[in-house]
Structures are given as C-alpha cells and as structure tokens.
Chain A
Amino acid sequence: QKEVEQNSGPLSVPEGAIASLNCTYSDRGSQSFFWYRQYSGKSPELIMSIYSNGDKEDGRFTAQLNKASQYVSLLIRDSQPSDSATYLCAVIGDGGATNKLIFGTGTLLAVQP
C-alpha cells in the first residue's frame, strides 16, 4: 500500500463548478497535511495546509481533514481554467517526528472553459 494515495485523473470539470480532489494516507500518526499545485513544467507551490480535523477555508480553496478515516480533500469553488494543474497531496511522514514530506502521485485537474 502506498503511503499517500490519490486518483491520478484527469479530473475534468466545467468552469465555475466545484472541483473535489481526494487523498488517503496510511500513517495514523501523521499530523500535518498539505496541498501543492504544480503547473506543467513548473515546481510545486504550496496552496493549503491543514493540521486539525474539519475544514479550513482560504479564498476559493477549502481543505478538509478526517484523521479517523485517514482522508484529506481539497475543494476548489468556482473553478477557473487557470486552476488546471496537477494537485499533489503531501503528508508529514514518520508519525510527525520529522520534516519528511511524503507525496502522492498527484491528480491532474482540467477545467474546461
């Protein structure tokens, strides 16, 4: 079992719709969770972090965390073509004892104009 799993996609949504990206992780001791956005040919860019169960909102982005289910998601409201990118879920591994980020393989999001 991979430590961090994501559906590779592509996830295609129409402009203005809500995009829902999902991620599961295997280490129950993980405490810190991140969403990175990576445009083609560019480096990963941090867009959201979440550390407690529940929702965290930042503009059009909402991160959701459920530690009991070992599940973290990212919602993008009012999706725009500029949101088209690969979204990487990342988890601090080793039960949070270190700074090691474990990445999923990413979900490709395509927002159709």
Chain B
Amino acid sequence: DAGVIQSPRHEVTEMGQEVTLRCKPISGHDYLFWYRQTMMRGLELLIYFNNNVPIDDSGMPEDRFSAKMPNASFSTLKIQPSEPRDSAVYFCASSSDGRSYNEQFFGPGTRLTVL
C-alpha cells in the first residue's frame, strides 16, 4: 500500500489567494482526519470524516476553512481567502474503523506558506 498521499507537498501563496490541499487515504480506511501543526500550537485536529461524512469540525478555525470528502478515496481542505497566520504544515491521516483504540496513519504533509 502506498500509504496516505497528500498534494502538493509545498505551497507558497500570497495573502488573499485560495488554497486547496488534497488527500488520498489508505485504501479501505473509512476514517479521514485533517490536522494542522505549528510550533506555537502543536498538532491540532481540524476535522474528521467517517465514510465520507464530516463528523466533527469543531477544530476548524473559522469560516475561511472548508473540507470535503466526495468519495472514499479523496478529500480536500480549502482555505479562502488565505492569511499569513494560516502558514503551517497540514497533515491528513486515515484509520480503518471506528473503535476508539484505532491507529491513525499520517501522510507526508503539505507545508503551506502564505506571504
């Protein structure tokens, strides 16, 4: 298995531009998670999906952030408009079932820089 795939790996954009991050979970995994990591706040859960349905988006910082999962093999995290404070590494992770002790596997991340 190729693991969790994310694209792009690096993104540099200017303030006000729209940014779209993409994720392909591990085949057969039915949970997908979006995290953001910064030096100041560490690793934070933004939103997670179960069987393509958003379950908890309480970590999404504001209305500028949105996430979709149109099918079991693809998810997007969109920021519109982007701001310099959105600069961070964004990770996607997936897991195989809903039991609370399930293990999450992380993708390589997208390093976002907003100028």
Chain A interface residues toward B at CB < 8 A = 31-32, 34, 42-46, 49, 51, 88, 92, 96-106
Contacts and interface: CB of A to CB of B under 8 A. Distances in A.
A49 B103 CA distance: 8
Given A98-B55, A99-B31, A100-B48, A44 B43 contact: yes
Chain B contact-residue range equals 20 to 34
| Most chain A beta-carbon contacts within 10 A, residue among B31, B44, B103 | B103
A3 B55 CA distance: 21
Interface in B59-93: 91
A50 B42 CA distance: 22
Question: Chain B interface mostly helix, strand, loop or mixed?
Answer: strand
B17 interface: no
Given A44-B91, A99-B48, A105-B42, A32 B100 contact: yes
B108 A42 contact: yes
B101 A101 contact: no
Interface string B43-58: 1110010100001100
Contacts of B102: 99
15 contacts: A32-B101, A42-B108, A43-B109, A44-B91, A49-B101, A98-B56, A98-B100, A99-B31, A99-B33, A99-B50, A99-B95, A100-B48, A103-B42, A104-B42, A105-B42
| Most chain B beta-carbon contacts within 10 A, residue among A44, A46, A98, A104 | A44
A31 B46 CA distance: 22
Given A43-B106, A44-B106, A45-B106, A106 B100 contact: no
